[in-house]
Structure 1
Amino acid sequence: MAHERNKQVVSSFNVQVIQNGRRDVFEALMADDFVNHSAPAGAPNGPMSMWNTFDQVLRPALAGLTVTIHDQIAEGDKVVTRKTISGVHVGPLMGIPATGKPVTIDVIDVVRVTDGRYAEHWGLNTLAAALNQLRQS
């Protein structure tokens, strides 16, 4: 039961926060002492590091941003999600002007869920490869 609840927390975050930009859901799902272990060196790694990635970087750059969850595996208090974030490049993305091209970013996340909230995050993604493809456009 706890595994399924934790998977639902992560699914809700992906759809409601990343895809739909719901700040209220973000605030409800993030622990105050959340740590983003995937934040760049020297960058903030608290809750706002996650919000800013989606609200200030991805959503303004990608029209029709969608999150497709391919797999989720839960064990203990952790949920692993394999997903794809996609959209059309209509605004600046990490210094690259809009190209109108489709963008896909494959992601594998590990989230530790405590009391129904995100406590920690680790992730790998193909953003660098997507940016390289846009630069070659």
Structure 2
Amino acid sequence: MAAGPEINNNDLKAIVARFNREVIQDGNRESFEALMAPDFVNWSAPSEALRGAETMWKTFSTVLRPAIGDLQVHIHEQLCDGDKVITRKTISGKHVGPLLGVEATGKDIAIDVTDIVRVRDGRYVEHWGINTLAAVVAQLRQG
């Protein structure tokens, strides 16, 4: 059994909800620092060199947030399995800046995401996820 205080499912869900609200939606760097374990690994990153926490922060702060105005994260459901939280959510807003090579269109966009986060001692330790960002960008390219 993992060391540290026992955390129940509602506590785990609250940690992940806080990350989504404060970090992804609001862009709060202090919350990011508080919620990321030093040994965090993003298993969804395209290469080992990009699996650290800082790359995840850069994705939010330099890719998503500048491109999506009034960015909102809507959590549809969360499930817990041990120390993992599975979240189904939508990141939405208006396309107001360049997004992966597509100039602003002013269109409303919505990226559906399902992710799994392992939490230890109240902090993100591992992440796995799938999303529809590539499909959204392809649709924007078509006009």
- Give the TM-score taking structure 2 as reference length: 0.93
- The Cα of 1:43 is off from its aligned counterpart by 4.4
- The Cα of 1:118 is off from its aligned counterpart by 0.1
Matched, 1:65 2:66: no
> SS where residue 96 of structure 1 aligns?
coil
Query: Which 10-residue stretch deviates more, 110-119 or 37-46?
Result: 37-46
Stretches of 4+ aligned residues off by more than 4 angstroms:
none
> SS where residue 58 of structure 2 aligns?
helix
- The Cα of 1:41 is off from its aligned counterpart by 2.6
Structure 2 distance, partners of 1:4, 1:118, is 15
Matching residue of 2:30: 24
Matching residue of 2:131: 125
AA at the equivalent of 1:129: A
Structure 2 distance, partners of 1:101, 1:116, is 37
Segments of 5+ residues of structure 1 without an aligned counterpart are none
Structure 2 distance, partners of 1:9, 1:45, is 21
AA at the equivalent of 2:105: T
Residue among 75, 95, 98 paired with 2:101? 95
Matching residue of 2:56: 50
- The Cα of 1:2 is off from its aligned counterpart by 1.6
Among all aligned residue pairs of Structure 1 and Structure 2, give the percentage whose two residues are the same amino acid: 61
Matching residue of 2:116: 110
Q: How many residues align?
A: 137
> SS where residue 95 of structure 1 aligns?
coil
Over the aligned positions, Cα root-mean-square deviation in angstroms equals 0.9
Closer, same or farther: CA 42–118 of 1 in aligned 2, 3 Å: closer
- Give the TM-score taking structure 1 as reference length: 0.97
Matching residue of 2:13: 7
